[in-house]
């Protein structure tokens, strides 16, 4: 019976959260069914039994009974209290990632989702807009081309999300999770995709080379990504595919996506728009070439700005005596999310929060750094703090600006060369 | 103003027509029209409200049907490679596109404008004013044994303000329509159609209508406090009054806040002051907090009047005192109070954990008073003498539908589950079950119950019940499938959707047609009764509140020929045979078995 | 103000009594006292909505200040607290005179009633003049304007447009209430001239008086919020 109902109501979930949500849902459903049936049963019975008909008169009955009324306040109260705690605990467990997580950066704009992986690969956005090759992570489905987000099976993933225009909401029904995406701050969402096997739950896919390749091995499981906050004309077209892949396949695909056939211009930015560097290297590049290095050292030596060594992830203190904690920005599950928030804010609005002991002298980089480059800086800081962003090994330095820039051979390139990122200090 | 005073309020008493029906036409047609347009008689104002509101309901319904029609089919791009190798992509399944919209985006825009219009009309022009302004206006003074509401001219003013508001709304729809959704979320609402007046028009409409409901609210609070007939204590009032009282209080307390918010929203659009604009350092989520601080209490402004009607329907048509009168009365106030502290449950996906947790907890608290009411009503049926006329059917329909609607609120109140259900069709279905299945159903029921009192004509019982069954079944067919597709992940405000949801959408659309039929039946039935319906007795249902016992149907210009004095409670069916009813018609029940006390 | 019931001055005036003596309460009330209570309650409810409207505004102010303290602190330092103070005094005085007006009506001091109404009105006008001439005009000239109109060259914090938005919004909405108040006083004065008010009937005076007090109190809150807190 329970299973029957469950199959009517739910499409099978595929995340560490789904089971709990489904069970809570079923529990509430049963509470409702029982109380509803009881009440409607009573109602129907009374109506039939006491309907007005010749010779039938209403009878005198006590017209209130405190004991009874208290019962039907207290019983529902108990039931709902239980619902509350269950829901609360499930919600909290969904807020914090378990173990080291795969970090994906999601950007939302009217009307498309874009993702940047730790190794610089991008699915969707860039390709979506200058409609190049369809097989670089875009599928044609229904009314729109959808970006395909790939995630590794059984590996916790964290989506760090920001919007460039209005509020959107990142919703993956089969993962039972949803989070709004704002233009003025970062939000994040985390879960662990369970299995790469099993039936696709994203309906029919039209001409999708990757999938066709995958289909042969029956590998990779597709789920819908929707935009759940109304955002204008094509709100309903703003969707995507989340594809769960086995770890090895995930790595292969990402590396394939990361090396696009473009050479890097002197500024280390590809002709297609953005360097396909691993994010942390892009950050390193930004740090040395966009002027960060003038004030922020990475070796702990004192500059006019705080050094990035032993910096990221700590509970630093602000000029006003407050500390940077999870509650500094509302809606941030863990300290890292708060840090991402803080870094982004400091780059765009440097004056808002001042690190204790440093003067307010940093200019705003709002119009000098792209969202992706900012993500890069965050990744770089994590890297310095010895944190890994991804299970995908970094690309060989071959295609990094270090090698790329000289081939371009412009004076600007010469200028850039000395500062070009060296291989990661392992 | 003075002229109004002269012709009406002043002429109370010595007016020769005082003792004939308030509907009695004046000498010439123009005189009659002027008389209505300038009347301060709460009954006429109530009727004028009723007509305008039903018209708006019709408009909103038509918009709804358009929404359903577009959703009958998902939208697909069919990519086919032709013989000559060219790839042809065609888009199918978009009604508005077929109807001439230039492209997908345009067709989607049209859809967005229509559901926005639907939501705005239904909320601000229909359901919020619906019961209080029409039935409330008509009945409150009658039930209290008063000649009029406390501030008659204010009452008329609020109707004209309502008209102005609806004018703004319609105007903005006519100059192109707005696509903000009824929630006006920023920054979208401040960016869309930038520089165009129509959005400001629509916001103005909501703003203006706010005044109308504030005035009505004030009027009712004062009336209930000051104008009760001699001998009528607070707990001798019909429960209808209690419900209206709770409603009025919320209206007065919540509306000013949305007032200032909408005002700032207008400034934001006109001057880009930046309060809600992230790029200027404002906070878009702040708007959501303010919007819901008003709009959650308002959902109880919507349902309390429905509940108010319910208490009367149940009592009169079962001839029993509502079980636990005080519990029902106080739960109205409890709802009114808690309603102010749960707004955050609309924002679980856009606020911090702590806030969410608190709001979730409070949300479950606010569910309890409603539970009390529902259960008490059902228990009232026990050992009653249940008269299954159209109004009673609607009462039963309310219990069924509102229970579903309310219970689904529990899913939404549970944090982790709401993360999944938020902004899906589950929510859409939830609020239609409570708003349409609750308030509107009760409203139509109440309309049937007091129709004879308002117009002095009986409606046709058979067609009334036919109408009910169409509405009841059609409603469930329309909205139950939406629960399922919601849980399957169908987001709301979608003009097109993946194929797998089509089956549910199709059912839903068929249901909406059934609803149309049902309401048309009612409409026809009402019109017919006005033209050729049999004359209604003063007390067709054997009610005991003053509007039945002491007033004629339709009532005379100032309600009562003599100042009514309250001698018995509104629900003392066990001891009183309602006047103006044939003696044999309502025999008194047998005395209680020894030992059991009735009070 | 619209929420006051009809005043009817019929037969009595033949015996040339002042209308206030022969005031007949509206039909649907049982007696004048009941009507007076009702109206008074109505006025209080209306004032409650006013208070809520402004408290909403104050919350907006609070949140914005929390988000951008530096902008607000700098912003308020750009205001001249002396004009604020003067206006505060002006409004306080007008509150006294309007209260006195009510007293005059109760004690049937027709001259005093009219005098007080006029003085209050004049003070109201004074408030507006000071605001427009010495506060709005220069700020307008300097481009210290809300949102997109902000063009003040030597700003210090990027969020000053937001501060000015709050400033103009709050004071503007308050000023509009003062204007409405002036309208009401004109209406009162005309009726006072006709002798509508007296010990038996001074509902309108009382109502407008209460309204004016609220307008005053709101300013008492706005003044420190905008001018003083640094
Ligand atoms: C008439 C209007 C009305 C009413 C009465 C309600 C009543 C309730 N609503 Fe509803 N709600 C809306 C109108 C209404 N709502 C609207 C319009 C929206 C969407 C706005 C938008 O986004 O566009 C909404 C959205 C909404 C949300 C946000 C969903 C989301 O967007 O994610 C939530 C979440 O908590 C919620 C909860 C509740 C609860 C707990 C009740 C409770 O008050 C219900 C209490 C009733 C019962 C519980 C049933 C009767 C009792 C019994 C049958 C006895 C047994 C009881 C128990 C065992 C407990 N509602
Ligand atoms: C009182 C409130 C109310 C009522 C009654 C209704 C009634 C209906 N609603 Fe409404 N709806 C809302 C309030 C309401 N809605 C709101 C607030 C939204 C959210 C908007 C947003 O997201 O911004 C919404 C959104 C909404 C959606 C979701 C759109 C989307 O998210 O994409 C849908 C889709 O099916 C829908 C359908 C319907 C239908 C089929 C009816 C039917 O029940 C309509 C039936 C009525 C008729 C067919 C008219 C017949 C009337 C007469 C003939 C007049 C005479 C009558 C008498 C004499 C009694 N509504
Ligand atoms: Cu993006 Cu809806
Ligand atoms: Cu709510």
Nearest CA to ligand 2 atom 20: B119
User: Is the pLDDT reported for residue C58 higher than 80?
Assistant: yes
Which 8-state DSSP code applies to residue A58? -
Look at B75 and A142 and tell me if their CB atoms are within 8 Å.
Answer: yes
* Beta carbons of B419 and A76 less than 8 Å apart: no
Q: Which of A229, B598, B144 is nearest to C28 (CA)?
A: B144
Q: What is the DSSP string of B137-175?
A: HHHHHHHHT-SS-S-HHHHHHHHHHHHHHHHHHHHHHHT
Q: What is the pLDDT of residue B392?
A: 95
Distances (CA, A) of C90 to A198, A374, C129, C187, C228: 78, 54, 11, 21, 18
Note the maximum CA span of chain B.
96
Cα(A180) to centroid of ligand 3, in Å?
10
| Contacts of B562 by beta carbon, 8 Å cutoff, 6+ apart | B550
Give yes or no for B285 touching A (CB within 8 A).
Answer: yes
Instruction: Say how many C-beta atoms besides its own lie within 10 A of residue A89's C-beta.
Output: 14
Given an 8 Å threshold on Cβ–Cβ distance, is B419 in contact with A92? no
DSSP 3-state of B25: coil
Is residue A229 within 6 Å of ligand 3 at its C-beta?
A: yes
Torsional class of A147: left (φ above 0), alpha (ψ -120 to 50), beta (otherwise)? beta
Residues in chain A: 426
Q: List the single residue in A with minimal CA-CA distance to B573.
A: A58
Phi-psi region of A313 (alpha: psi -120 to 50; beta: other; left: phi over 0): left
CA atoms within 13 A on the CB side of A362: 27
Cβ within 8 Å of residue B381, ≥6 positions away: A42, A43, A46, A47, A50, B314, B318, B320
A230 contact C CB<8A: no
CB B360 within 8 A of CB B345: yes
d(CA C24, CA C58): 42
pLDDT band at C22 (very low <50, low <70, confident <90, very high): low
Report the distance separating Cα A193 and Cα A204, nearest Å: 21
- Residue C7: the pLDDT is 45
Distance CA B58, CA B126 (A): 10
Q: Residue A357: is it exposed, middle or buried by C-beta count within 10 angstroms (0-12/13-18/19+)?
A: exposed
Q: What is the pTM of this model?
A: 0.89
Q: Are B555 and B142 in contact (CB under 8 A)?
A: yes
Q: Which of A101, A128, A115, A121 shows the shortest CA–CA distance to A162?
A: A115
Highest mean pLDDT among A229-238, B412-421, C218-227: B412-421
Query: Rounded to whole angstroms, how far apart are CA atoms B68 and B63?
Result: 9
**Closest to B173 in 3D by CA, of B59, B317, B272, B291:** B59
What average pLDDT is seen over chain C?
A: 82
Q: Rounded to an integer, what distance in angstroms lies between the CA atom of residue B596 and that of residue A63?
A: 11
Ligand in nearest proximity to the CA of B523: 2
Copy the structure tokens of residue B109.
């825009």
A touches which chains (3+ CB pairs under 8 A)? B, C
Give the per-residue pLDDT at C177.
93
Task: Give the Å distances, CA to CA, from A34 to A28, A43, B193, B340.
Answer: 10, 14, 49, 30
Asked if A349 reaches chain C (Cβ–Cβ under 8 Å), the answer is yes
Residues of C in contact with A352 (CB under 8 A): 68
Nearest chain C Cα to A320, which residue? C69
Query: How many of the other CB atoms lie within 10 Å of CB of B138?
Result: 26
Atom nearest to B438 CA in ligand 1? 1
Residues in chain A with CB shorter than 8 Å from the CB of B414 are 24, 28, 83-84, 86-87
Please, which residues bridge with residue B202 across strands? none
Task: Please work out whether the CB of residue A238 comes within 6 Å of at least one atom of ligand 3.
Answer: yes
Between the CA of B407 and the centroid of ligand 1 the distance, in Å, is 7
pLDDT single digits (tens) B25-82? 888 888 888 889 888 889 999 999 999 999 999 999 999 999 999 899 887 666 566 6
Which phi and psi (to 5°) does residue A241 adopt? -115, 130
Q: Which of B207, B214, B238 is nearest to B224 (CA)?
A: B238
* C121, C185 Cβ separation under 8 angstroms: yes
Cβ of B274 within 8 Å of Cβ of C147? The answer is: yes
What CA–CA distance (Å, rounded) separates B471 from B479? 12
Q: Name the least confident of A156-160, B242-246, C22-26.
A: C22-26
Q: Which residue of B has its CA nearest to C41?
A: B222
Tell me the pLDDT tens digit for each residue of B493-513: 998 888 888 899 999 999 999
Q: Is the pLDDT of residue C13 over 90?
A: no
Whether B264 and C54 have beta carbons less than 8 Å apart is answered as no
Which region, left, alpha or beta, applies to residue A327 given φ > 0 means left and ψ of -120 to 50 means alpha? alpha
- pLDDT of res. A222: 83
Question: Which two structure tokens, joined as six digits, stand for C50?
Answer: 């006013």
pLDDT value of position C15: 57
Spatial CA neighbour of C75 closest among C88, C87, C65, C90: C65
Contact A399, A301 (CB under 8 A): no
- The two structure tokens encoding residue C211: 């309204």
C122-152 pLDDT per residue, tens: 999 999 998 888 888 888 888 777 777 777 7
Nearest-CA residue for ligand 2 atom 58 is: B523
Residue B137 C-alpha, separation from nearest chain A C-alpha, in angstroms:
30
Torsion of CA A100, A105, A108, A112, to 10 degrees: -100
Section C88-108 average pLDDT: 89
Q: Relative to the CA of B348, which ligand 1 atom is closest?
A: 32
B75, B94 in Cβ contact below 8 A?
yes
Mean per-residue pLDDT over chain B, rounded:
87
Nearest by CB: A73 against B372, B410, B484: B372
Q: Cα separation of C4 and B9, whole Å?
A: 13
Residue B150 has pLDDT above 70, yes or no: yes
SS3 C83: helix
Closest CA to B194 of C96, A165, A354, A242: A165
Closest among C114, C113, C119, C112 to C94, alpha carbons compared: C119
Report the gap between the CA of C12 and the closest CA in chain A (Å): 54
Q: Phi, psi (5° rounding) for residue B533?
A: -70, 150
**pLDDT score of B169 more than 70:** yes
C-alpha distances (whole Å) from B107 to each of A304, B75, B118, B183, B214 are 56, 11, 17, 21, 38
Return the pLDDT at B107.
84
Decide if C52 and B227 are in contact by the 8 Å CB cutoff.
Answer: no
Task: Determine the pLDDT at residue A140.
Answer: 52
Strands in A138-141's sheet, in edge-to-edge order, are: A138-141, A144-152, A240-245, A221-227, A168-172, A177-181
CA distance A398 to A402: 8
Report whether residue A225 contacts ligand 3, using a CB cutoff of 6 Å.
no
For C136, other C-beta atoms within 10 Å of its C-beta total 17
For residue A52, the 8-state DSSP code is -
Beta strands at A112-117 and A102-109: parallel, antiparallel or unpaired: antiparallel
**Residues sharing a CB contact under 8 Å with residue C55, sequence separation 6 or more, in sequence order:** none
- Name the residue of B299, B310, B428, B493 whose CB sits within 8 Å of the most ligand 1 atoms, as the mutation to test its pocket: B299
- The pLDDT value given to residue A402: 40
Give residues 377 to 416 of A whose Cβ lies within 8 Å of C: none
The C-alpha atoms of residue A257 and residue A88 are separated, in whole angstroms, by: 39
CA–CA–CA angle A115, A120, A123 (5° rounding): 35
Nearest CA in chain B to C30: B227
**Which residues fall within 8 angstroms of residue B578, CB to CB, at 6 or more apart?**
B539, B542, B543, B544, B548, B549, B586
- Chain A residue numbers touching B415 (CB-CB < 8 A): 87-88, 90-91
Phi, psi angles (nearest 5°) of residue C169? -55, -55
Query: A–C: how many Cβ contacts below 8 A?
Result: 6
Q: How far is the CA of B491 from the centre of ligand 3 (A)?
A: 10
Would you tell me how many other CB atoms lie within 10 Å of the CB of residue B85?
6
Per-residue tens of pLDDT for chain A, all 426 residues: 788 888 888 888 888 888 899 999 999 999 999 999 999 999 999 999 988 887 777 888 877 788 888 888 899 999 999 999 998 888 888 777 666 788 888 888 888 888 888 877 776 533 333 233 334 455 555 445 677 888 998 888 989 888 888 899 999 999 999 999 988 778 888 899 988 877 777 655 445 555 555 555 556 788 889 999 999 888 988 888 888 888 888 888 777 777 654 444 444 455 554 556 778 888 888 888 788 888 888 887 787 888 888 788 788 888 777 778 777 776 566 777 788 888 888 888 777 778 888 877 787 787 778 777 888 888 888 888 777 777 777 765 444 444 333 333 333 333 333 333 333 333
Q: Which of A50, A165, A174 sits opposite B386 (nearest CB)?
A: A50
Q: Which single residue is written with the structure tokens 């900012």?
A: A374
pLDDT of residue B10 exceeding 80, the answer is: no
Distance CA(A90)–CA(B18), nearest Å, equals 67
Distance from the Cα of residue B351 to its chain's centroid: 30
pLDDT confidence of residue C4: 43
């Amino acid at each position: 019976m329970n299973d029957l109902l469950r199959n009517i109501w739910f499409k099978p979930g595929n995340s560490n959260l789904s089971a709990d949500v489904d069970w809570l849902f079923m529990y509430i459903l049963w509470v409702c069914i029982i109380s509803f049936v009881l009440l409607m049963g009573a109602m129907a019975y009374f109506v039939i039994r006491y309907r007005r008909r010749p010779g039938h008169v209403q009878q005198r009955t006590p017209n209130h009974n405190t004991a009874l009324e208290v019962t039907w306040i207290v019983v529902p109260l108990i039931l709902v209290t239980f619902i509350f705690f269950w829901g609360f605990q499930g919600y909290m467990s969904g807020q914090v990632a378990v173990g080291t997580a795969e970090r994906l950066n999601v950007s939302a704009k009217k009307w498309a989702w874009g993702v940047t992986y730790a190794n610089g690969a991008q699915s969707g956005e860039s390709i979506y807009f200058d409609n190049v090759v369809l097989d670089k992570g875009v599928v044609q489905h229904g009314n729109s081309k959808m970006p395909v987000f790939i995630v590794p099976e059984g590996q916790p993933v964290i989506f760090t999300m920001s919007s460039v225009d209005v509020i959107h909401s990142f919703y993956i029904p089969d993962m039972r999770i949803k989070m709004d995406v704002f233009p003025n701050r970062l939000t994040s969402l985390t879960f662990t995709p369970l299995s790469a096997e099993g039936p696709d739950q994203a309906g029919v896919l039209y001409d999708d080379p990757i999938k066709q390749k995958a289909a042969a091995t029956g590998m990779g499981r597709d789920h819908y990504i929707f935009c759940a906050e109304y955002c204008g004309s094509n709100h309903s077209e703003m969707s995507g595919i989340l594809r769960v892949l086995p770890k090895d396949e995930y790595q292969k695909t990402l590396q394939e996506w990361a090396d696009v056939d473009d050479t890097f211009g002197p500024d280390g930015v590809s002709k297609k728009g953005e360097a396909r560097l691993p994010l942390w290297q892009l950050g390193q590049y930004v740090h040395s070439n966009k002027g960060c290095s003038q004030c922020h050292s990475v070796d702990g030596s004192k500059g006019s700005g705080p050094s990035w060594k032993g910096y990221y992830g700590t509970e630093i203190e602000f000029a006003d005596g407050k500390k940077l904690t999870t509650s500094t920005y509302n809606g941030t599950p863990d300290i890292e999310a708060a840090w991402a928030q803080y870094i982004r804010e400091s780059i765009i609005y440097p004056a808002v929060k001042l690190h204790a002991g440093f003067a307010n002298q940093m200019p705003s980089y709002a119009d000098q750094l792209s969202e992706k480059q900012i993500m890069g800086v965050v990744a770089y800081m994590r890297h310095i703090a010895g944190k890994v962003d991804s299970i995908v090994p970094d690309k060989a330095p071959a295609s990094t600006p270090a090698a790329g820039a000289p081939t371009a051979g412009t004076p600007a390139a010469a200028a850039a060369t000395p500062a070009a990122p060296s291989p990661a200090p392992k | 103003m003075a002229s109004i005073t002269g012709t009406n309020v002043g002429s109370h008493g010595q007016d020769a027509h005082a003792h004939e029906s308030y509907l009695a036409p004046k000498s010439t047609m123009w005189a009659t029209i002027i008389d209505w347009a300038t009347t301060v008689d709460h009954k006429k104002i109530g009727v004028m409200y009723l007509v305008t509101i039903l018209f708006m309901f019709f408009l909103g319904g038509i918009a709804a049907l358009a929404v359903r029609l577009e959703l009958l089919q998902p939208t697909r791009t069919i990519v086919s490679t032709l013989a000559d190798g060219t790839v042809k992509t065609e888009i199918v399944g978009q009604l508005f596109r077929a109807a001439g919209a230039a492209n997908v985006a345009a067709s989607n825009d049209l859809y967005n404008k229509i559901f926005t219009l639907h939501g705005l009309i239904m909320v601000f022009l229909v359901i919020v004013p619906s019961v209080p302004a029409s039935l409330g206006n008509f009945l409150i003074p009658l039930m209290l044994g008063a000649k009029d509401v406390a501030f008659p001219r204010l009452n008329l003013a609020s109707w004209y303000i309502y008209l102005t508001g609806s004018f703004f709304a319609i105007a903005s729809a006519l100059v192109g329509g707005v696509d903000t959704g009824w929630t006006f979320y920023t920054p979208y609402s401040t960016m869309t159609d930038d520089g165009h007046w129509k959005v400001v028009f629509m916001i103005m409409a909501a703003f203006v209508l706010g005044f109308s409901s504030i005035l009505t609210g004030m009027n009712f609070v004062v009336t209930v406090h000051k104008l009760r007939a001699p001998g009528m204590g607070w707990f001798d009032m019909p429960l209808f009054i209690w419900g209206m009282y709770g409603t009025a209080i919320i209206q007065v307390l919540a509306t000013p806040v949305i007032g200032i918010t909408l005002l700032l929203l207008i400034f934001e659009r006109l001057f880009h002051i930046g309060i809600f604009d992230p790029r200027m350092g404002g906070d878009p989520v702040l708007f959501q907090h303010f919007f819901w601080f008003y709009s959650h209490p308002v959902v109880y402004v919507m349902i309390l009047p429905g509940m108010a009607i319910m208490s009367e329907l149940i009592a009169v048509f079962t001839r029993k005192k509502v079980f636990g009168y005080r519990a029902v009365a106080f739960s109205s106030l409890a709802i009114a109070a808690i309603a102010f502290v749960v707004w955050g449950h609309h924002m679980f996906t856009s606020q911090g954990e702590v806030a969410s947790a608190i709001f979730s907890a409070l949300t479950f608290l606010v569910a309890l008073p409603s539970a009390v009411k529902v259960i008490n009503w059902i228990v009232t049926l026990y050992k009653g003498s249940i008269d299954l006329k159209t109004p009673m059917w609607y009462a039963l329909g309310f219990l069924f539908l509102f229970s579903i609607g309310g219970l689904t609120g529990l899913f939404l109140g549970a944090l982790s589950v709401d993360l999944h259900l938020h902004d899906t069709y589950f929510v859409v279905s939830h609020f239609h079950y409570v708003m349409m299945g609750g308030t509107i159903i009760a409203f139509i029921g109440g309309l049937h119950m007091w129709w004879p009192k308002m117009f002095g004509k009986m409606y046709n019982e058979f067609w009334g019940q036919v109408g009910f069954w169409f509405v009841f079944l059609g409603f469930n067919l329309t909205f139950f499938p939406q629960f399922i597709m919601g849980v399957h992940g169908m987001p709301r405000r979608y003009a097109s959707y993946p194929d797998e949801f089509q089956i549910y959408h199709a059912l839903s659309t068929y249901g909406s047609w059934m609803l149309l039929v049902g309401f048309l039946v009612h409409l026809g039935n009402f019109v017919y009764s006005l033209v050729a319906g049999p004359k209604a007795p003063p007390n067709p249902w054997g009610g005991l509140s003053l509007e039945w016992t002491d007033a004629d149907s339709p009532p005379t210009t100032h309600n009562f020929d003599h100042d009514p004095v309250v001698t018995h409670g509104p629900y003392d069916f066990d001891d009183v045979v309602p006047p103006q009813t044939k003696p044999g018609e309502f025999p008194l029940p047998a005395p209680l078995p020894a030992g059991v006390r009735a009070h | 103000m619209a929420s006051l019931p009809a005043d009817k001055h019929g037969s009595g005036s033949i015996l040339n009594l002042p209308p206030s003596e022969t005031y007949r309460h509206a039909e649907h009330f049982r007696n004048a006292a009941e009507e007076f209570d009702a109206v008074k309650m109505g006025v209080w409810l209306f004032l409650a909505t006013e208070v809520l409207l402004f408290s909403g505004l104050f919350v907006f102010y609070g949140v914005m200040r929390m988000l951008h303290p530096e902008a607000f602190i700098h912003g308020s330092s750009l205001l001249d607290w002396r004009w604020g103070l003067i206006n505060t005094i002006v409004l306080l005085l007008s509150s006294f005179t309007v209260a006195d007006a009510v007293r005059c009506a109760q004690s049937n001091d027709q001259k005093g009633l009219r005098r007080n109404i006029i003085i209050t009105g004049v003070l109201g006008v004074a408030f507006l003049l000071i605001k427009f001439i010495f506060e709005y005009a220069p700020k307008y000239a300097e481009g210290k304007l809300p949102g997109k109109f902000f063009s003040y060259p030597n700003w210090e914090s990027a969020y000053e447009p937001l501060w000015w938005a709050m400033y103009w919004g709050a004071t503007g909405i308050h000023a509009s209430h003062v204007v409405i108040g002036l309208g009401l006083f004109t209406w009162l004065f005309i009726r006072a001239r006709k002798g509508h008010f007296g010990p038996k009937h001074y509902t309108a005076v009382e109502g407008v008086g209460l309204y004016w007090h609220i307008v005053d109190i709101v300013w008492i809150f706005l003044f420190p919020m905008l001018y003083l807190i640094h």
